[in-house]
Amino acid sequence: MEKEQQKRYRAWAEIDLHALEHNVRAVQKILPPSTRFMAVVKANAYGHGDEAICRKLWELGVRWFAVSNLEEAIAVRSYCPYGEIFILGYTPPEFAPELSRNNIIQGVLSLEYARELQHFAHQPVRCHIKLDTGMGRIGFRGDSIQAYMEQILPLFELEKLSVEGIYTHFAVADCPDAENTAYTKQQEERILQVYDALAESGHRLQHLHFMNSAASVTRPNPRATLARIGIIMYGLEPNYPFHVPLQLEPVMSLRSVVSHVKEVGAGDCISYGRTYTAAQPRTIATVTIGYADGYARLLSNKGYALVHGCVCPIVGRVCMDQLMLDVSELSDVVRPGDVVTMFGKDQDAVITADELADLYGTIGYEIVCGISKRVPRDVIGV
């Protein structure tokens, strides 16, 4: 970031489109030739900023995009007018006309839901059938292929639904142990069996998709027409500390600045609740980022950041807009205005969002999705 621009920000997220391109190309190399890349850009592209991410993906040749809801779908439509946009979850059925008007594909979760879409639709609504094969969340659920078929076949009698595909979501594809691998295999076999049964009954669907990020790189299946690529596209692990067999580059780095440097003596306390007391004289830097920016309060006295390439621990509780670092090792060089890397690379040192998440029992997804809207996204590599 240029110096003048940096001065305007108290905290910012750098979005590296070169890293995005690297990750997309790495995944594309291992996908079967018959499987197209569907970019999952829900939740503001996992907090990275959907406009910049979608425009770059379109430039890279990605034509399929997955979102969570209608609002996200319409936003992506504005960035990618000719893309295929798929809503993974629920859209209130009274918005069926808007789905058709914007050429958006809707996931159909149940026969009742399909009939409600039919009721409100003016023009055919493009849709994919969602199967619950073991996630236990949404979708058609059955204890046999016949049970699935009895629920699904009536969909084809609804003239205002254009059924184009079928999909499911794996629950434990990112867990490499034998029991969970077997569970994923069972889920995969179930959707393939339903797809084949539909084809035998005269309904050969155009699209079949079940591979998420983890499955796409660990068990790519050429029968899938689409692979839903989410977290690995942004350079994070699906299930840290287990590593996918790809060299990923994190797309987001989170930066802030030092606002104040002070010396404290032995026995002095730092921040709310007096959860940190200096055991000896220390140099403390105040940094202009806090939990209102999405840097979790649960990282109080656990997290760390990089200053001049040096790892500095957080001391005391993270506040709404500020936190404190022990920069005693840098007491001769640290100054107000110095850049602080909350996660990302600084010289030879790196902190990943996955590592931070592991410190307080969450996942890297939550770290990047949680960076608040008041934190500007500074896009590099345009």
Q: Which residues have C-beta within 8 Å of that of residue 182, sequence separation ≥ 6? A: none
> Is 42 a residue of the active site?
yes
CA pair distance 281, 217, nearest whole angstrom: 50
Are the C-beta atoms of residues 131 and 191 closer than 8 Å to each other? yes
Which residue has tokens 């007491």? 331
CA pair distance 229, 189, nearest whole angstrom: 20
The torsion of the CA quartet 230, 15, 360, 171, rounded to 10 degrees, works out to 0
Nearest-5° Cα angle at 363, 361 to 367 = 105
Of 173, 202, 187, 206, whose CA–CA distance to 141 is shortest? 187
CA pair distance 380, 14, nearest whole angstrom: 7
User: For the stretch 264-296, what's the b/e string if a residue is b when 16 or more beta carbons lie within 10 angstroms of its beta carbon?
Assistant: beeeeebbeeeebebeeebbbbbbbbbbbbbbb
Of 377, 382, 381, whose CA–CA distance to 12 is shortest? 377
274: left (phi over 0), alpha (psi -120 to 50) or beta: left
Q: What number of CA atoms fall less than 13 Å from residue 131's CA on the CB side? A: 29
The catalytically annotated residue of 42, 130, 291, 365 is 42
Tokens of residue 48, six digits: 């990275």
Tokens of residue 358, six digits: 């592991």
3-state secondary structure 302-334: CCEEEECCEEEEECCCCCCCCEEEECHHHCCCC
Q: What share of the chain is helix, strand, coil (3-state, %, to 5)?
A: 35, 25, 40
The catalytically annotated residue of 262, 272, 302, 373 is 272
> Is 272 a residue of the active site?
yes
Q: Which residues are catalytic?
A: 42, 272
